[in-house]
């Protein structure tokens, strides 16, 4: 029976389009309740007929470690999803790996410790005397990805996104980003006014 179950799992992963050999397929964290005040911030990221695969890819591209599929096709994910997805308790409203109405099947992005996606260090206060030197390096509509790429090209290990689109990074950012203490002014993986969502480059 165990062998049959294992074979079914491998076949299921192949059908979903994941390589079973590298064990980087998403790992289910179970079925959890949601409400109008979403357990995972940021709203519906996308709708898909292949939501587990597409939401997984979206979350990995953003450097997020947890995502959820709800209402059969909807994708939810955020930088802090790992800390918030279970806030309303468990649910029995999931089937076939997908959530239903106000129920979400939550997944962990595997291999995150071994891949090179940025890892969030949280939300931190900034001031006019910048916590991260060098000023605004760039503005972007895809700031996490673009700031990550900029920082990597410069050989920097830490970067931050502030005011939704602004990129900050410096050679010593790892030592200075938290000098003004924590902030609650970040959402969807991006900082707001005088708040910056800080990331570490994994490799």
Q: For 136-147, how does the pLDDT look when each residue is reduced to its tens digit (9 = 90+)? A: 999 999 999 999
For residue 125, what are the contacts with CB-CB under 8 A and spacing of at least 6?
A: 131, 180, 181, 182, 183, 185, 194, 195, 196
Q: What angle do the packed helices 143-154 and 51-62 form, to 10 degrees?
A: 50
Q: Nearest-CA neighbor of 107 among 85, 92, 128? A: 85
Q: For 73-111, how does the pLDDT look when each residue is reduced to its tens digit (9 = 90+)? A: 999 999 889 889 999 999 999 999 999 999 999 999 876
Side-chain-facing half-sphere of 73: CA atoms under 13 Å: 4
pTM confidence score:
0.51
Q: Nearest-CA neighbor of 123 among 55, 73, 193, 198? A: 198
Lowest mean pLDDT among 72-86, 114-128, 166-180, 186-200: 114-128
Bigger pLDDT: 202 vs 185 = 185
Q: What is the pLDDT of residue 116?
A: 67
Q: What is the pLDDT of residue 16?
A: 39
- Is 175's pLDDT higher than 70? yes
């Amino acid at each position: 029976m165990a062998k049959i179950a294992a074979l079914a799992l491998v076949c299921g992963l192949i059908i979903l389009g994941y390589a079973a050999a590298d064990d980087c397929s998403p790992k289910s964290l179970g079925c959890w309740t949601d409400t109008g005040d979403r357990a995972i911030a940021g709203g519906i990221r996308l709708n898909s007929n292949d939501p587990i695969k597409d939401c997984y890819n979206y979350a990995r591209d953003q450097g997020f470690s947890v995502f959820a599929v709800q209402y059969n096709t909807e994708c939810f994910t955020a930088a802090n999803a790992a800390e918030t997805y279970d806030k309303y308790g468990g649910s029995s409203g999931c089937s076939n790996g997908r959530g239903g109405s106000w129920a979400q099947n939550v997944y962990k992005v595997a291999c995150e410790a071994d891949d090179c996606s940025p890892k969030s260090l949280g939300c931190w206060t900034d001031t006019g005397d910048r916590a991260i030197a060098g000023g605004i390096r760039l503005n972007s509509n895809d700031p996490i990805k673009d700031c990550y790429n900029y920082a990597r090209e410069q050989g920097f290990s830490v970067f931050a996104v502030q005011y939704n689109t602004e990129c900050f990074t410096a050679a010593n950012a790892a030592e200075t980003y938290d000098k003004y203490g924590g902030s609650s002014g970040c959402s969807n993986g991006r900082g707001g006014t005088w708040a910056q969502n800080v990331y570490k480059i994994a490799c």
